[in-house]
Structure 1
């Protein structure tokens, strides 16, 4: 039977996360703040389903003190803390669960990244989950894809087709490998990610799709928009929305695009552009954990997600510290589907 990646809104067995440890991304006060932020997300998810946090050796006691007794903690060597990217992509054939282990090379071998340990986390988590591993030769991360569970996958050209990850691979070869691993049949490619996701803006991924666009149901995509015409993402987002509205999914349905405006804040304190986005949310059993930015548009975005996910509780969690490290709530969580 063919294995496929279920949509995020399908039932979960649990959520996996990775604990921030001392590295170039998290230092001093930033490390303490990041640990508090990760703990807030873990506790929000735990209201709806079990959570396992992978922590570095010797860090379990401190992690448990912040996480509380309801979150499982396991120790293993880590380089960074972005479980969406370093963890496995779980797939199922309806009777069995398996895990795709993509090649991880530090988001395209970026000079600030380390991945000696993180490149092995997917296999370790798979072992802990007791599932078979499907090894892929493709350099890829979980934040670089999003599926509808009915054959369609969202991708960005600067990630899977970028020379930093898969030099020499054609678009057809990349699609064939992704379809083989995820059970998809139709790929929708966006040209690139948000501006702040690329050098020299900080700890970026070179264009992950899960901060730009995501499925919110069969035939429905939520898309990031930037209303401020001064922001370099303004025109990019307009083009994304126009493009997505022309697309059909694997079932032949015309895509319905739900636009979600970025927060009103457009610059960091040092003057750099921010890529704050509500698209980088996490759907769990009975809930949606949504990035908040202490912004007037937080509640507007929450209202949209309540309409998209009736019957689920939308929980806002301040994600500014997470974004300062290079990602959002979706980036630090990874779902294990229930079979």
Structure 2
């Protein structure tokens, strides 16, 4: 077997999502909860303009999901507690030695390090349910990891963060060599580029401790998009400068130096909780398009669409207001998971 996680710009069979349900992440009050339902719905409908979407829905939310999503999105009822599909769902891979074979990596999910507030035990079993539904070969992993903690170029390179995979609340006995060996076994990445940390807000109580998909992403082999915070009053100003210096000194699996493409942050620096981590890096590449986080800043949102359309030639960028998603700890990439098309043999 030669499992390989394709680049996100490769053709998709569909995108998977999970619909919000009541719990600590959703928050209190009908009006506030509605902002989450609306944001997840808007994201699904935007993706559905480009490719099929399947939404997992807890039985408690079935009627609401049907009402909001209509007939544009396939709804599959299954018990959930959390609904960040990128993180607890399967990471899909293909086998280049067996054309037409789809694999699904089932990482161990413990709610981003098993914090006291997290509810995750039910959703931790979703990867197996999805794998069975699509007929994918299940690849069980002993590594505690989330889909938002990795980003690949599709040709053997993976971006990781030391504070995620080496987090003692996730993998207390792991070291880089063990993590890298598991990345090669499960997703075919034989070159790891380690970031020392992620964005500042991501280390708050409800953060992931440094998921890479909010700060950096491969636009293509050899080309990395990187969040840039221009305001020196924001702590991520220094963080993103240091990350750029590090990435510019790295090579990929093919030995190419990494070209770094800056994606400036929106102008907003703070919300009611402190410094924001609003980032356009948490986008989703879809068939013929890019679904981009929007932050209610017309000029900055438009600039991000332009940068991403240039980074992914031939794709149309569309914006979805992601502020309600970020207020709950993530963005559009965090709530989605792409399933690649598997190519049949000759």
TM class by smaller structure: over 0.9
Counterpart for residue 150 of structure 1: 155
Is structure 2 residue 303 aligned with structure 1 residue 300?
Answer: yes
| Aligned counterpart for 1:189 among listed residues 184, 187, 194 | 194
Per the TM alignment, residue 297 of structure 1 is displaced from its structure 2 partner at its CA by 1.0
Distance in 2 between the 1:30 and 1:187 partners?
A: 40
Counterpart for residue 142 of structure 2: 137
1:208-254 Cα offsets, whole Å, 9 max, x none, are: 00001000011000000110101111101000011101111000111
| Aligned counterpart for 1:221 among listed residues 212, 224, 232 | 224
Distance in 1 between the 2:243 and 2:287 partners?
A: 29
| Aligned counterpart for 2:336 among listed residues 326, 333, 338 | 333
TM-score, structure 1 as length reference: 0.98
1:8-47 Cα offsets, whole Å, 9 max, x none, are: 0000001000000000011322221101100000001001
Distance in 2 between the 1:217 and 1:162 partners?
A: 28
* Secondary structure, counterpart of 1:108 in structure 2: coil
Counterpart for residue 42 of structure 2: 40
Counterpart for residue 21 of structure 1: 21
Residues 17 and 51 in structure 1, CA contact (< 8 A), matched pair in contact too: yes
Distance in 1 between the 2:72 and 2:274 partners?
A: 38
Distance in 2 between the 1:305 and 1:83 partners?
A: 23
Is structure 2 residue 183 aligned with structure 1 residue 178?
Answer: yes
Counterpart for residue 169 of structure 2: 164
Counterpart for residue 98 of structure 1: 103
1:72-122 Cα offsets, whole Å, 9 max, x none, are: 001111111100001000010142001000000000011211111011011
Count of aligned pairs? 336
Counterpart for residue 122 of structure 2: 117
Counterpart for residue 241 of structure 1: 244
Matched ranges for 1:68-79 at <5 A = 68-79=70-81
Per the TM alignment, residue 58 of structure 1 is displaced from its structure 2 partner at its CA by 3.4
* Secondary structure, counterpart of 1:224 in structure 2: strand
Counterpart for residue 198 of structure 1: 203
Per the TM alignment, residue 193 of structure 1 is displaced from its structure 2 partner at its CA by 0.8
Distance in 2 between the 1:207 and 1:222 partners?
A: 16
Residues 16 and 55 in structure 2, CA contact (< 8 A), matched pair in contact too: yes
Is structure 2 residue 325 aligned with structure 1 residue 316?
Answer: no
Counterpart for residue 263 of structure 1: 266
Distance in 2 between the 1:58 and 1:81 partners?
A: 13
Distance in 2 between the 1:311 and 1:222 partners?
A: 17
Is structure 2 residue 67 aligned with structure 1 residue 65?
Answer: yes
* Secondary structure, counterpart of 2:227 in structure 1: strand
Distance 1:271 1:331, change over 3 A: closer
* Secondary structure, counterpart of 1:166 in structure 2: coil
Per the TM alignment, residue 271 of structure 1 is displaced from its structure 2 partner at its CA by 5.4
1:134-176 Cα offsets, whole Å, 9 max, x none, are: 1000000000000000010000000001101000111101110
Distance in 2 between the 1:87 and 1:227 partners?
A: 34
Of 270-279 and 155-164, deviating more is 270-279
Structure 1 segments unaligned to the other structure (5+ residues): none
Matched ranges for 1:277-296 at <5 A = 277-295=279-297, 296=299
Per the TM alignment, residue 199 of structure 1 is displaced from its structure 2 partner at its CA by 2.4
Question: RMSD of aligned C-alpha atoms?
Answer: 0.9
Per the TM alignment, residue 123 of structure 1 is displaced from its structure 2 partner at its CA by 0.7
